[in-house]
Structure 1
């Protein structure tokens, strides 16, 4: 898995399902895909979308790997 898009595609139902399980709009998920990253709130602990996506994928997507894949250099520091 090299991108957020690949991870979302591992979820049965794709973007609409990801939006539903995370409680956000489909448009919000498309914004994540455009940026290839989850929102800032995921890295500050305000949300837990990575864990929700992991559950929705039945473990095909690891929350830890998803966060590593999508963080910016600032968040890596």
Structure 2
């Protein structure tokens, strides 16, 4: 299981969606892709930081972004 999937599942899809102001369906898309959206890299969103805060620091935003970057580059 990827770090992103582990982070989201440990916090809960519904909680992540609510905190990020998006639908649970959008969060499930992240799970399927194994990455956060590209907007994380253009300053449009800060979902990685939100997940870090929700997990009380258990899942570092830098690690979430690193894994997302790698996943996006593989496509």
Q: Common fold, TM-score beyond 0.5?
A: yes
Q: Which one has a larger percent helix, Structure 1 or Structure 2?
A: 2
Q: Give me the CA root mean square deviation.
A: 1.5
SS in structure 2 at match of 1:10:
helix
Q: CA deviation at 1:73?
A: 2.2
Q: CA deviation at 1:43?
A: 1.1
Q: CA deviation at 1:69?
A: 1.1
Q: Which residue number corresponds to residue 9 of structure 1?
A: 9
- Number of residue pairs aligned between Structure 1 and Structure 2: 72
Structure 2 stretches of 5 or more lacking a match?
A: none
TM-score, normalized by length of structure 2? 0.87
Q: Residues 1-77 of structure 1 correspond to what in structure 2 (within 5 A)? A: 2-11=2-11, 14-71=12-69, 72-73=72-73
* CA distance in 2: counterparts of 1:26 and 1:38, whole angstroms: 14
* CA distance in 1: counterparts of 2:13 and 2:22, whole angstroms: 11
